[in-house]
Structures are given as structure tokens and as C-alpha cells.
Amino acid sequence: MTKKLMAEFFGTFWLVLGGCGSAVLAAGVADVGIGWLGVSLAFGLTVLTMAYAVGHISGGHFNPAVTLGLVMGGRHDAKELVPYWVAQVAGAIVAGFVLYVIAMGAAGAEGVGGFASNGYGAASPQGYSMIAGLVTEIVMTAFFLIIILGATSSGAPEGFAPIAIGLGLTLIHLISIPVTNTSVNPARSTGVAFFAEGPALGQLWLFWVAPLVGAALGAIIWKAMTTTDD
């Protein structure tokens, strides 16, 4: 169990450092910035790389919503749910702190601004409403779980699940960064919210509620349409 929790801690750490780090440090650099496309790829690559690196140890969740969905889908032991959540959130917060230290080391840095946090209303990259954010996060997380459950099922080609999951997360970011800055992961949202300026902490509830609801919905849909238990 200790090894599983270590894998989830470091996997989530890498997801937040790589994904949010690309947004904070590289997305907005004039002329050479990677933009939303680059950030989307960064998030997908963090999951893909760590799924191959430590997925065989813990299952490679790196996300409380994914753990819940896998428990509901009959793929993970329910007694490990809370320990996994603790490890994932801890990894995300430590990554947020490391990223904060790096960001504040820039010449002339006076603050970190939104710090790749998730939000709605004025905190949405394109000013989308709370309802739009709620619907987006529920739907995107539901499809993320369908992708995960399908790609790791017994009928799927072996060895390719991390690629499908990583590219799935990339697509999700391409769709939803303008709406909420894309969460689909309560740990990712929590890890940067503690260091962000603005309403990130006050709006954090949505980025727990919506991904968890979406994950449960995705597991229910998958179980309803699949013909096997695995």
C-alpha cells in the first residue's frame, strides 16, 4: 500500500507540475509561448508518461475523480479510495508549492496571478458562467472515465491504454480550457488554488463536485453499455 500511495503522490505531482507548470511558465511567453495547444499536450503527456512509469504500481489514477470512477466501475478496491485521495491531493499541493517557488523566481515577479487555477465567471478564461463550467466539468470527466474504463478493459489492445488516456486528456483540455481552464481533477485544482491570486479557493467546490459527479456518471454509463465486468 505504501508503494501505491507513493506512486499516486509522485504521479499527481508530475501532472500538476507538468501541466500547470506549462501554463504558468511557458504558455504566455511572447512569440515563443506554447499557448493553449501546448498546455493541452502537456497535461496529456504527464498522464501518458506517468501511467507507463508507475501505472503498474498503483493503477495510475493521479486524480480523485478517476479513483472514484474506477471504484464504482468495479476496477478498484473501495477501501483504498480515501488513502488514494490523500496521496493525490498531497502530491498536487507539493507540486503547487514547487511551481510557486519557481514562478516567483522570475525577474520582476510580484505575484503569480491566477496561477493556472480553475474558475468560472470572471475567473473563466473566456468568462463562462458557473452553469457552463459545471456542465463542462461533469461531461468532460464522464467521458474521461469512459475512455479510461474502455482503454483498460480486457477487450482493448494491450499496452496502449496510457496513449489513449493521455490523448483523451489532451482533447478534453482542447475543448474546455476556454471554459474553466480545465480541471476534471479535484487534486489538480486544489494544488494550485492554495497559491493562486483571485477567487480560486472560493470556487474550488465546483471543481470537486463536478468531476466527482462526472466520474460516477461515466462509470455508470460504461457499466450499462459494456458486456463484460472488466
**Which residue segments constitute the domains of the chain, with CATH numbers given?**
2-225 (1.20.1080.10)
Q: Give me the pLDDT at residue 130, please.
A: 98
How far is it, in rounded angstroms, from Cα 15 to Cα 47?
6
How far is it, in rounded angstroms, from Cα 204 to Cα 202?
6
Q: Give me the pLDDT at residue 64, please.
A: 98
Q: Which set of grid coordinates corresponds to residue 190?
A: 486544489
Cα distances (Å, whole numbers) of residue 145 to 36, 136, 172: 23, 14, 12
Q: Give me the pLDDT at residue 230, please.
A: 64
Return the number of other C-beta atoms located less than 10 Å from residue 25's C-beta. 16
- Residue 126 near residue 179 (C-beta atoms within 8 A): yes
Burial of 6 (0-12, 13-18, 19+ CB in 10 A): middle
Which residue positions in the chain have pLDDT lower than 70? 228-230
How far is it, in rounded angstroms, from Cα 87 to Cα 11?
10
How far is it, in rounded angstroms, from Cα 143 to Cα 140?
5
